[in-house]
Structure 1
Amino acid sequence: MQPHPVVSREEWIAARKAHLAHEKEYTQARERLSEERRALPWVRVEKNYVFDGPGGKVSLGDLFRGRSQLVVQHLMFAPDWNEACKSCSFWADGFERMIPHLAARDTTMVAISRAPLQKLTAFKQRMGWTFDWLSSGADEFNYDFDVSFTPEQLKSGATLYNFGTTPFGGEEAPGISVFYRDEAGNIFHTYSCYARGLDMMNAAYHYLDLTPLGRHEEGLPYPMDWVRLRDQYQPSQVQASCCHG
């Protein structure tokens, strides 16, 4: 980390107010982007997707739980994996406790993966998560929403990720998809995001962005190389000295 100038409180306030003007510009630009996102056209979902849940088979419509909006976190967990993706789990730790708040605004949120339900349930218990997590292993859902790729696609290089803008070399990819259901029961796909589009949904990253070191990922093999499943960090990484009396 490069040395920073140390100034008086008055000089710091002046610099902070100059930066505040830029923050306000960004906030206004973000609001315009959100308005544009909400104005995107919709696509009617014609397929009858079916998932495995704790109570048995459920449809995409069932996942709304009587609400009009559904957010799906495509959580990377292939059928032959023994653990979910550590980076997707980093996101899941962040949204774990927000589910009731979303529900209060007519929005249901679930996670969907291709791994069998038994594996999802075991890992969910290990992580202490409470959100609904469904298996799409017997369905085309993940493939249709471009977060899973067949061996043939991988071999030919025909992996369509982030709307064809980003090459992807693995069988599973992260993403978020949003759906709307009208009063007649029609379901529409309204939005999906992938890759860096997911960044805005990770609160931990944005807290780090407030700090002098930021995300501190420079020089790593890849940006999230440091991330671990939260029960795999070394005690020295997560326990402050004050917690030991």
Structure 2
Amino acid sequence: MKTPPIVSAQEWENARRQLLVKEKELTRARDALAAERRRMPWLAVEKTYTFDGPAGQMSLLDLFEGRRQLIVYRAFFEPGVHGWPDHACPGCSLVADQVAHVAHLHARDTTLVFASRAPQADIERMRARMGWTGIPWVTITDEFDLDFGVDQWHGTNAFIRDGSKVFRTYFVNNRGDEAMGGTWSYLDITALGRQEDWEDSPEGYPQTPPYEWWNWHDEYSDAPATAAWKAKIAGARTE
């Protein structure tokens, strides 16, 4: 193994700062790309889809759980998949393992759902074994996977609703799914984004100041940030 050179602390800091310039460029480019996603056209979902959930049949609209946005990850757990019936496929399982607490997405009016073709009894057994009980996981019963590009491979679809009307807003698969799992990565593929006031979004999009909506995952409410946290953020901005 040919390792990099061993240098002094100052030389190391200089090298880090040189790389930081490129990293900042990448961050700004990623933000600009997310801004373009928020301007993607919407595709109306005209077809009716049915899923099996823990409490019975559900429509695509039901998967929103009353929230405005929906993210659906197609996970391969079904007969014929490597690992069946004990595990989902290794790649999809790695994705599930790294999903952040969904309460943070809920605070941005966004629901995350996993979908597979396995029966609910098998899904519930696997979720309990793997500790994935916080992620809603439904059974595909029709052509949803075929219609949305995830019949042969994994992928993540983003949707938004206007009342009872549902629209497809974005899709990512292959290596694009590598970034999924974190709250920010999920929000950055949605039509509304992180909904923070520093973002370049179309006029009228919902936005709040950054940090102020963040909270512990078990203390979100209609007033998500505590008064003490808001005061701390306000003080930091003043400084």
> TM-score, normalising length from structure 1?
0.70
Partners of 2:181 and 2:111 in 1: CA distance: 18
Partner of 1:105: 108
Partner of 2:90: 86
SS across alignment from 1:10 = helix
Residue 173 of structure 1, CA deviation: 1.2
Return the match for 1:135 from 134, 139, 144.
139
Q: Which runs of 5+ in 2 are unaligned?
A: 183-239
Moved over 2 A (4+): 78-81
* Residue-by-residue CA offset, 1:28-77 (whole Å, 9 max, x unaligned): 11111111111111100011111000100011101111100001111111
- State how 1:53-132 maps to structure 2 within 5 Å: 53-80=53-80, 81-82=84-85, 83-95=87-99, 97-130=100-133, 131-132=135-136
Partners of 2:181 and 2:50 in 1: CA distance: 28
Partner of 2:154: 174
SS across alignment from 1:47 = coil
Q: Which runs of 5+ in 1 are unaligned?
A: 149-171, 204-245
SS across alignment from 1:32 = helix
SS across alignment from 1:190 = strand
Q: Is 2:200 the partner of 1:185?
A: no
Residue 78 of structure 1, CA deviation: 2.6
Return the match for 1:198 from 167, 177, 193.
177
Percentage identity across paired residues of the two chains: 47
Letter in 1 for 2:3: P
Q: Does structure 2 conserve the Cα–Cα contact (< 8 Å) formed by 1:50 and 1:60?
A: yes
Q: Does structure 2 conserve the Cα–Cα contact (< 8 Å) formed by 1:49 and 1:141?
A: yes
Partners of 1:141 and 1:200 in 2: CA distance: 23
* Residue-by-residue CA offset, 1:139-167 (whole Å, 9 max, x unaligned): 1111111211xxxxxxxxxxxxxxxxxxx
Letter in 2 for 1:193: V
Q: Does structure 2 conserve the Cα–Cα contact (< 8 Å) formed by 1:114 and 1:142?
A: no
Partners of 2:46 and 2:16 in 1: CA distance: 52
SS across alignment from 1:123 = helix
Q: What's the Cα RMSD here?
A: 1.3
SS across alignment from 2:115 = strand
Residue 92 of structure 1, CA deviation: 0.4
